Each structure stands twice: as C-alpha cells, then as structure tokens.
Amino acid sequence: MPVSRRLALVFPGFEPLPVEAHCSRFIREAKRTASAYGMTLSLSDPVYSGAGLRTGTIAVDASGEGWRTQTEAVVYGLGDLNAVYAERNPAVRILTGLGALADFIGTGTFFRFVWTSWRYSLFFLYPLVTLFGVVAIAAAVGSFLPVSTILRWLVGILVAVGLLWFASKRMHFLLMMDDWAFARDMARERRPDVKERIAAVAADIETRLSAPDPGEVVLAAHSFGAITVMLAIADLLSRGCDMRGAGLLTVGSSLLKVALHPAAVRLRAAVGIIATSPITWVDCQSLTDPMNFYGSRPLHTLGIRKGREARIIRVRFRTQLRPKTYRAIKYDFFRVHRQFVYGVEKRSPYAFHAILCGPEPFAAFAEEGALSENWPPASGVGKAG
C-alpha cells in the first residue's frame, strides 16, 4: 500500500556548507530524480529554523498514477561544526590532519580498515601519498636548478605551495585533512560542542516524533551524518522513546571510520542499542565509492553479537546515470561519494529521493533490497516544479 504521509529527517555528511546549501541540493536533485521516476513533484521553499540547531524544512508533494505521497523533509544543518576546521590556517590543517592519520595508524585502526575494506585503506593513504608526492616533486625541481642553495630552497618551497594549492582545489587535499582531524576528535570525544549539538538533534527528533500522525518516519544519513544520527537515536532509545516502525537509512556511511577506533566506545554502544531496537536499518554501499566501507557488515565488523545486522544494499551508480555523466564523475571520488544523495537519470534499484519522496514503504524497500520496478508507471514522465 502506498505511503500517504512521511517524515524524512536528513543528515548530511562532512561538508562545511550551511543548511541553505544542503536544502538547495535536496530540491535540485529531487527534481532530477522525479523525471527519471515519472513523478509529478512539487516542493515548497525551505522554512529555516532560528538560532541554535539549524534546520530547513521542505514540504514535498509527489504523485503518480494511483498514488500521492506528502513528505515533510527536514534537513539538519551541521556545517558550522565542520567549518571550524576549514577556517583554520592551511599549515594547521595539514599538521592536525597528519596528527590524526598518525593516531589512526598508532592505534591500529588503519589495519582494521585494511581487514574490513581494503579499498578504504587506499583512501586513508591518499593524503599521505599526495603530500609525499608534493614534497618529492618540489625537492626534485629545486635540486636540479643551476642556482644557489638558498634559491633552490625558495623555488622548492614555492613549488610545494603551488602543488598544495592545486591539490586542495582539485583533489580536496585540505578537506581530507580536516575530515581525518574531525574523525579523530569524534572518536576521542574532544568536541563538547558536537556532543551538545547531537543532544539538540535528539531533542528535535523527539519533538517531531511526538507530533500527531507524522506518518512513516525515515532518518536518512550520508557519510559522517550516520554518526550524528546514530548517536542521537541511541540517546532517544536509551530514554525510552518509542521508535517502532521508524526506518534508518545510511548511505556511503562513515560509521566504521570512527567506530573502529578503540576510543570510540560510546559510538559502538550506540550501534548496539540500535541493533537491538525495532528500527529497520538499511545500509547502502557502493564499490565505485572509495570513501565507504564496501562489503562490510557493521555489527559483524564491530564484534556486536546481539541484535539484527543492517540490511546491506549494493548500489551501482553506473546503472542510474547516463554513460556521459558517469564518465564525467567517476574519477572525482568526492563527487562519486556524493552521488548517494544526488539525483538519478535512470530508474534504478536505489535512488535517494525516490526512497524519501516516493510511495514505496521503507520496510518494503528494506525487505526487497531495491525499489520496486512497478511504481510509478514508466510511461508519462511527470513535471518537477
């Protein structure tokens, strides 16, 4: 039976973007998906919350032949917590990133990455290889110049700065350094402001769940957003909040990035609480994305023996994009990582906005491991407005 009402709570990943930018992305990509799925789609302008916890609420009205689904999509703004890292001096960003990488190696977490998903371990090594390459090229250029030693050093430094600028702009080098610094701080709980924000998120979720007839409830998280939402959900469950029938959708999850660190005791406990709850958890992974733990099983990997394992769904981006689009993005790993929350150009078993805005019950998607091919009718492409 089609879903008539839904409350979709959306948690973005590690990007120093305001909630307004995330809402604009959600609206743009939902329209893109609507064309592929034959949905007639109407989206309101976002309504933003005031100070404190920033949210953007979008009223989505989707319809097709024989169905209509109204979704209240609430996008949580956590970008200011990430911006703390991006606003620092580049040298500080590099040094703290290196310190975080050393922490993950020294604690053995890196080797757990290798054991769990060898492709993810390559992503871990990427900033180190990039930095080594910059130093090697700068040293080579400086050493071969027929000038004085001082000039060689100056040229080498200028080359290194130029290469680091290029790596940051085109290869997301500084963003990756911030990402690892944030992961270390999350594992070791060094950010009391993050703890306070997660408590505020939990309180906001509880308020929305207590509203009369919220309909189907789906909490959807991308990348680092999975950590935020899981800590918030565990807090609610431990206080007796009734979340029966709710769905948890994690896509391109960074959960294991932090949870595999030995200091992340609280996060592992949160996973265990969710696993023994009535919440339906679906974890979507893609081989194309080097920034997620493809092939992993969260509970098994973390040694949690009680509860239900997440329903693992493999996503193939190639099947949801036109060949030209896929070729254009496949070597930009950050863009590939974001494809989990971007729109699709072809109907496929997975589409973020079809799951959150369409008529199919989340429980049915979880059970089948794919969106149904029977809704809406493939003919009659709807209008996105």
Residue 363 lies in a domain: yes
For residues 211 and 325, state if they share a domain.
yes
For residues 303 and 216, state if they share a domain.
yes
For residues 248 and 339, state if they share a domain.
yes
For residues 196 and 329, state if they share a domain.
yes
For residues 257 and 339, state if they share a domain.
yes
How far apart are the C-alpha atoms of 366 and 216, rounded to whole Å? 14
Residue 377 lies in a domain: no
Cβ atoms within 10 Å, residue 192: 8
For residues 182 and 196, state if they share a domain.
no
Please give the average pLDDT of every successive group of 10 residues along the chain, which has 385 residues. Answer: 94 92 97 92 93 91 92 93 88 96 98 95 94 91 76 85 88 92 96 91 94 93 96 96 95 98 98 97 96 96 96 96 95 93 95 96 95 63 34
Q: What is the pLDDT of residue 385?
A: 33
Residue 243 lies in a domain: yes
Residue with tokens 């130093």: 135
Instruction: Report the domain count for the chain.
Output: 2
Q: What is the pLDDT of residue 31?
A: 96
For residues 200 and 111, state if they share a domain.
no
Q: What is the pLDDT of residue 380?
A: 35
Q: What is the pLDDT of residue 16?
A: 85
CATH number, residue 56: 3.40.50
Residue 384 lies in a domain: no
Distances (CA, A) of 341 to 56, 72, 249, 371, 382: 16, 17, 11, 16, 21
Distances (CA, A) of 316 to 324, 342, 346, 351, 366: 15, 13, 12, 11, 17
Residue 155 lies in a domain: yes
**Residues in contact with 327: Cβ distance below 8 Å, sequence separation at least 6, in sequence order:** none
Domain boundary among 187, 221, 250: 187
For residues 121 and 203, state if they share a domain.
no
Q: What is the pLDDT of residue 376?
A: 54
Query: What domain range is 75 assigned to?
Result: 5-81+192-368
